[in-house]
A and B are shown apart, each in its own frame.
Chain A
Amino acid sequence: MKKLILLFAVIFTVTISAQLKYQNGMKKAFSHWEKGEMVKASQLFERIMKAEPKKWKPAYYAATIEILGSFGLKDEAILKAKLTKAQEFLDVAKSNSENNPEILITQALLNTGYIAFDGQKYGMTLSGKNAQLYAKALVIAPNNPRVIMSNAEWNMGAAKFFGKSTKPYCDEIKKAIKLGKEEKIEEEFYPKFMESRALEVLKQCEK
């Protein structure tokens, strides 16, 4: 019995301290992110990912930072290197959390990174994939504000390309904003809804 207590105590201490380490690590990474230290933030997420091989969030955030950093790049070699790395992270996230709508829409965002760089080269194959990813995410999480928002933005891009009105998607954005306000996030470090960005996109939409 005593041995058992000892064992519990040891395991408990180790888990508590591991959990603390994880929380501190994630918090630090987010504080880098808030300060705009993207390299540091991404690298810390990468280290946490390696140290916590069963968690999806560190890999998810590491991928997200690389993807966001790829928009606007002019050099295809750097773009491809960044997005390949992001894809590796995202694959880790996927293997730890299957059919996660947050990861599905981030995969779509990664594809959009390629399409935005060279639509002729990548658009043909990847735009179809994105349509599928959004459809799947909407089935799994029809009321997830991030999914609705991301899908609306993608549709707006397509509508602009074909010279059509983006109006039909304004309602979706409004719905996403409403759902975003109501959303209760219970899981720690779970992706949040970016209301300020959504409001900006809404402005463009209503133009």
Chain B
Amino acid sequence: MKRILFLLFTIYPFSLIAQTTVSGKVTDSKNVPILGANVYLDGTYDGTSTNEKGEFTFKTAETGTQTLVVSFISFETYIKTANVKTLNKLKIKLRDDVNSLDAVVINAGTFEAGEKGKVTVLKPLDVVTTASALGDFVGALQTLPGTAAVAEDGRLFVRGGEAEETQIFIDGARVFTPFTPTTNNIPTRGRYSPFLFKGITFSTGGYSAEYGQALSSVLALSTIDEPDQEKTDISLMTVGLGIGNTQKWKKSSFSINTSYINLAPYNAVFKDRNTWNKPFQSANGEMVFRQKFKDDSMLKLYSAYSYSDFDVIQDDINFDDGLRFALQNRNLYFNASYKNKFGNNWKYETAISYTNDNSNIKVIDDQIKSNENSYHFKAKLRKRFSSRFRLNFGAEYFITNYDESYTPTNNNKFDYGFDNNIFASFVETDIFFSKNLAAKVGVRAENSELLNEFTVSPRASISYKSGKNSQFSLAYGQFYQNPNNEFLRFTQNLKAQNTSHLIANYQSVKQGQIFRIEAYYKDYNSLVKFDNNSTSFNDNQPNFNSTFNNNGFGFAKGIDVFWRQNGKIKNTDYWISYSYLDTERDYRNYPNAAQPNFASKHNLSIVTKHWIEDWKSQIGFSYQFASGRNYTNPNEAGFLNSQTKNFNNLSFNWAYLIDQQKILYFSVNNVLGTKNIFGYNYKNTPNMNGNFERQARIPNADSFFFVGFFWTISDDNKSNQLDNL
């Protein structure tokens, strides 16, 4: 026994002498040697780094089957399991890591904002420090190319498409009524505060098969996974006040945000062109609860409630006493999403959303009441076969129940409504042929129960990296969208509207600068047409007596250019967007194809931000230009036969850091007070000379001032709401 022990103690250290040599050469796919790659036997101390020739050699005492690992940054890790004796004079080629930051990105049509995207055109702060945006994230997106300045509306009009052609998603689930309803010439705002979101993907065309029921654009928002810290935010503004609080626990967190807006004091000081019976007021509340489970599983519950009302009389050439419009709206949005990983590189994501939107509208003395209940159920699976091949597929179901009643003065009530249920499924693959060439191919199928129609939409995009900083992309897709509620409430005998997108994109990205140019062609088919037998030139709404068909069509083509540079001029960041749009449509009650009123041929945005150290201030300007928009002048022959003057708007903002947690914020929209005109309303009957008199459609007030004081209370005494502004 003792002898064995002795043997053991003595032999063991000597056994190290029986060594095997492991050697070889490491190169990239083009046979260029890699210097400094880490080469080792997995689970042992034995290994080395490659030299200038890519060569390595080391000795090991290990025997039998071993795993050799070769790893180097921005390459895929190489693994070979074999008998250690055979691991000699190896020729190892490392494959490029296609997920690294310098790999090609499939990006035709898409803008990323936030820190997660590989190429972000807007940074988190921009969404809220852009002068013209007034704290609305939609306002910040309107400085990107492809969007049009439709200042009296406030929603997103993308590449010759109407606002309804854009769909908004939060954590994968659809938002059915994202905007607060307003009336003529009062721009709306997004209902949701920007600072609950960590990333925004804004696609102006050619988007993934995961998204449907959108003809022009998709805006996907994702909420924050984990807030930084517990804090309380207090805002005092000229238009109202807000309070927010965040609580954190070990695996979960809760944020709440509330605000109350009342324009009465503002309207009392700065009179606008309207007579307010009841000034605009709104109460908003949002809550997010997040719970983490093991393996990055996560549950998020998000809900938002908003209430708004106002009662206003606006001047109208056809009504001597003005046109009265009163609105009460309440909106509830709830969204639950859950994601987890399982098995071998599988990911599962599911989301449910519910929207209830209830409006009570008075136009003169007619009353319209509407109630919408909508649901969205979605489940998505993602399998990563390798870093070069991924598969996504899923299914979703949309339910919309819409009821409306119309009570004209001294008349009976009309009730109408519909159920619009849609089932959809999609499948899509991401394929990386190399670090420089990647493609995404997918198909989406939808079945509308209401229209009894089945549609199939193929989508494809391909990107090629042509140089260190530049790449080209192409995208094609078919898109279907059911007609809007404004048609469906009167008839269900319609088909889905259709468009196809063809997009070519070039992008060049260097540190601190981005240039991209994109050309597109959109072909619209099966657009809804109707006649409304109206005698008024200004009335373009369908009604009870209208007849409807799907014979409308149109096209939109153009070029979008984006340029952003940061830091070349000290403490200054700026971006320029230009869009050229050529579009015509024959839809709604148009007698012939024409460029619609909301479209402008040229759109230009310039945004700058400058940080002044000595003043502890950030000063920003944004300038928007749009060429004239069409309107119909009944004194001349033709339809949409005249054009307004150009639109100009220069906005300014100033954020002053009183200290690290207190900010004074000041902004003016349209500093120069430019008199912008959106179009004209004509009198229904001609005057004595046989001419129709007109009234310009103009903003309620030329300029808008905003002063706010924002105070954050947190343990670290450092955070502030600069990111909320």
Contacts and interface: CB of A to CB of B under 8 A. Distances in A.
Q: Do A and B bind each other?
A: yes
Interface in A44-71: 44, 46-48, 50-51
B45 A125 contact: no
B124 A50 contact: no
Interface in B115-155: 115, 120, 123-125
Nearest to B227: A128
B124 A124 contact: yes
Contacts of B320: none
Contacts of A77: 74, 100-102
B660 interface: yes
B706 to A, nearest CB: 22
A50 B101 contact: no
Interface string A7-48: 001100100010001000100000000000001100110111
The dominant DSSP class at the B interface is loop
B5 A82 contact: no
A100 to B, nearest CB: 17
Contacts of A158: 660, 718
Given A39-B49, A77-B100, A162-B616, A128 B228 contact: yes
A81 to B, nearest CB: 5
Given A6-B5, A131-B718, A81 B100 contact: yes
A94 interface: no
Interface string A100-114: 000000000000000
B43 interface: yes
B115 A125 contact: yes
Given A121-B120, A131-B229, A13 B616 contact: no
B545 interface: no
Contacts of A122: 115
A132 B228 contact: yes
Contacts of A81: 73-74, 97, 100-101
Contacts of A207: none
A178 B682 CA distance: 83
A163 B571 CA distance: 14
A202 B387 CA distance: 47
A77 B723 CA distance: 26
B71 to A, nearest CB: 8
A74 B714 CA distance: 34
Interface in A72-92: 74-78, 80-82, 85
Given A9-B5, A43-B38, A121 B47 contact: no
A25 B716 CA distance: 41
A78 B198 contact: no
A124 B125 contact: yes
B657 interface: yes
B44 interface: yes
A40 B614 CA distance: 45
Contacts of B657: 162
B614 A120 contact: no
Interface size class of B (residues with CB under 8 A): 35 or more
A127 interface: yes
B4 A6 contact: yes
Contacts of A203: none
B8 interface: yes
Given A13-B12, A158-B718, A120 B36 contact: no
Nearest to A66: B73
B467 interface: no
B47 A43 contact: yes
Contacts of B101: 76-77, 80-81
Contacts of A74: 511
A120 B114 CA distance: 10
Contacts of A85: 73
Contacts of B8: 9-10, 13
Contacts of B45: 21, 25, 47-48, 51
A74 B13 CA distance: 48
Contacts, number: 111
Among A74, A125, A127, find the residue whose CB has the most chain B CB atoms closer than 10 A.
A125
Nearest to A46: B38
B584 interface: no
Contacts of B349: none
A117 to B, nearest CB: 10
Interface string B550-584: 00000000000000001000000100000000000
B47 A131 contact: no
Contacts of B511: 74-76
A198 interface: no
A33 B616 CA distance: 41
Interface in B63-115: 69, 71, 73-74, 97, 100-102, 115
A184 interface: no
Contacts of B715: 131, 135
Given A74-B511, A162-B660, A128 B102 contact: no
A11 to B, nearest CB: 11
A107 B121 CA distance: 27
Interface in B485-532: 511
A167 interface: no
A163 B614 contact: yes
Contacts of B1: 2, 5-6
A8 B40 CA distance: 31
A17 B13 contact: yes
B229 A132 contact: yes
A1 B16 CA distance: 30
B613 interface: yes
A51 B49 contact: no
Interface string A127-140: 11101101100000
B115 A121 contact: yes
A120 B229 CA distance: 19
B719 interface: yes
B342 interface: no
A134 to B, nearest CB: 8
Contacts of B73: 78, 81-82, 85
B42 interface: yes
B58 to A, nearest CB: 11
B229 A128 contact: yes
A13 B9 contact: yes
Interface in B1-27: 1, 4-5, 8-9, 12-13
A132 to B, nearest CB: 5
A53 to B, nearest CB: 8
Contacts of A162: 616, 657, 659-660
Nearest to B43: A51
A17 B44 contact: no
Contacts of A131: 228-229, 714-716, 718-719
Given A17-B12, A131-B229, A39 B40 contact: no
Contact of A125 (B4, B124, B613): B124
B102 A43 contact: no
14 contacts: A6-B1, A13-B12, A17-B12, A39-B49, A44-B47, A76-B101, A127-B719, A128-B228, A128-B229, A131-B719, A158-B718, A162-B660, A163-B614, A163-B616
6 smallest beta-carbon distances between A and B, as pairs? A128-B228, A131-B716, A77-B102, A77-B101, A43-B38, A81-B73
Given A9-B9, A131-B714, 13 more contacts: A40-B49, A43-B36, A50-B40, A50-B42, A50-B43, A75-B511, A77-B74, A120-B123, A120-B125, A120-B573, A124-B124, A162-B616, A162-B660
